Amino acid sequence: MSDKLLGIDYGTGGAKATLIDDAGRVLSYAFEEYSIIVPSPGWSEHKALLYWEVAQRLIKKVIADAQVNAKEIRGVAVSSALPSLVMVDDKGDPINNAYNLMDRRATKQVDWIRHNIGEERIFEISKNRLEDHPALVNLMWEKENRPADFGRISKALTIDGHITQKLTGRATLHYSGAAFYGVAYNLLEKRFDQEILDAIGIPADILPELFSCEEIVGGVTKAAAELMGLAEGTPVAAGQVDCNAGWIGGGATEMGDIQSNLGTCGNFGIIHNGTVLPNTMINFAYTTDSRHTYITVPTTTTGGGLIRYLRDNFYVAERASEAETGLDTYDLINQEAEKVAPGSDGLVMLPYLMGERTPIWDVNARGAIFGLSLNHTRGHVARAMMESVAYALYDSFHLIRDVIGEINYPLVLNEGGAKSVLWRRIITDVFGVPTVLVKRRIGAPYGDAILAGVATGVFKDFSVARGWTEYIDRMEPDEQRHQMYMEYFELYKNLYNHVKGDYIALADLRHKYCANNSD
């Protein structure tokens, strides 16, 4: 009887779970989509109560589908898209909706920190930029805007931390997720800075206990075991950020490895052990040795989320008739985009539907379509969206490729929209580097299951991940298209520079005239 391992991942648009055996074989997999709630411009939330309900359904399903005895499951690990924030009371139940990574409401709190503490001091401690998304900044917003609810907070958790607490009864935080609390988290020393916590008015006792990703933080409680169909006492690892999980699942275990995801957000990561970190990117601990290893991750806020937005708003009838036609709407979008020539016949998009992260860090930025003409179809818009995400990621790539250290090409494309041959071709040609695709794209929950195996001693280290990963569909860049895309990229950059001041004016008008705004 082989050991079984359970991985669970919470993305921005849905959750996934998988069971694997100790030879890396996937025994079962389940996915459930959930809604992104946008009650006001710049806000982005989930119904936090759903997380635990979804976990129960997914875990029961993968156990049933795999037809395994729960006692065979040696360990569990959970990951989630970060930054996220689940505020829980003393019973471990959520207070209000949860923040997800696209939330950008806490602009006034960012300004206060900038003027009273300073951006240089924040980067010195956190090795990340002062922005409005970290959990601590959002807690400042909660304290100022919902003081009664803030007073009920027992712990401020990530999504995966919330699920881990529900499983084990312990409020914990792993090193890879701690960086996304921001501001007061000392990335190199692995601790929260009390002086900055005091300055921003956030009590240390609502912050969870810190662990390396690879540590066991507890066992499944009797109550959770009965709800989930798990065995009481099953070990639970501290967990990891979801992009780490996806890249572990895709075999990224060595210094210089580079992988990319096109989930709701789009990103790529480069593994390294340097402590001089770029100040325009996102820097945090990497799972394989979360005390000493780091990953630098450029991110565009709405990557695959652009195509989901297009599907949900401009392919409504097609989506409604999927069962009848048997055609997945995403496949239809790809088919229409494939008919359009590179460069989208002069259509260029800025993909900032929820502000933008690296490298421009502009909370006020919004989407824009430039060059729209009567000859353009929705297929043109779809391709322009794909190209805009490639431009947004290349904007970071060209800044760090020569300073981050050795990079092991090819660029490995993993989850989400990477299954699109067209999108991979666009990224290959925009970046001007070879790419490959991970054949088995179970993604983050697969990496979580491997983490559970390392944490419990089923695997001696993470090297098994690379051994189990097969890369397929290698693409070489077309130099002529790369040069063309570089001209479009220059226009893309110029467009943003021309309108970035107008984004501020637009934000002022939104706050003045749009309903349901809140400071």
> What's CA 42's distance to the chain center, in Å?
17
For residue 68, what are the contacts with CB-CB under 8 A and spacing of at least 6?
Answer: 4, 19, 27
Spatial separation of the C-alpha atoms in residues 438 and 413, rounded to whole Å: 6
Neighbouring CB atoms inside 10 A of 377's CB total 14
Place of tokens 């005390």: 291
Identify the DSSP state of 262.
Answer: E
pLDDT of residue 516: 58
Neighbouring CB atoms inside 10 A of 281's CB total 23
What are the domain boundaries of the chain? 300-437+473-513
pTM of the full predicted structure? Answer: 0.90
Spatial separation of the C-alpha atoms in residues 253 and 288, rounded to whole Å: 7
pLDDT of residue 519: 45
pLDDT in tens, the chain (519 residues): 689 999 999 998 899 999 999 999 999 999 999 999 999 888 999 999 999 999 999 999 999 999 999 999 999 999 999 999 999 999 999 999 999 988 989 999 999 999 999 999 999 999 999 987 799 999 999 999 999 999 999 999 999 999 999 999 999 999 999 999 999 999 999 999 999 999 999 999 999 999 999 999 999 999 999 999 999 999 999 999 999 999 999 999 999 999 998 888 899 999 999 888 888 899 999 999 999 999 999 999 999 999 999 999 999 999 999 989 999 999 999 999 999 999 999 999 999 998 999 999 998 999 999 999 999 999 999 999 999 999 999 999 999 887 787 899 999 998 778 889 999 999 999 999 999 999 988 889 999 999 999 999 999 999 999 999 999 999 999 999 999 999 999 999 999 999 999 999 999 998 888 865 554
pLDDT of residue 443: 87
b or e along 16-44 (b: 16 or more beta carbons within 10 Å of the residue's beta carbon)? Answer: bbbbbbeebebbbbbbeebebeeeebbbb
Spatial separation of the C-alpha atoms in residues 314 and 411, rounded to whole Å: 32
| Burial of 229 from C-beta contacts in 10 A (0-12 / 13-18 / 19+) | middle
- Contacts for 189-195: CB closer than 8 Å, 24+ residues apart: 190/285, 190/291, 193/125
pLDDT of residue 215: 98
CATH topology classification for 300-437+473-513: Nucleotidyltransferase; domain 5 (3.30.420)
Place of tokens 């709190």: 109
Neighbouring CB atoms inside 10 A of 156's CB total 26
pLDDT of residue 275: 87
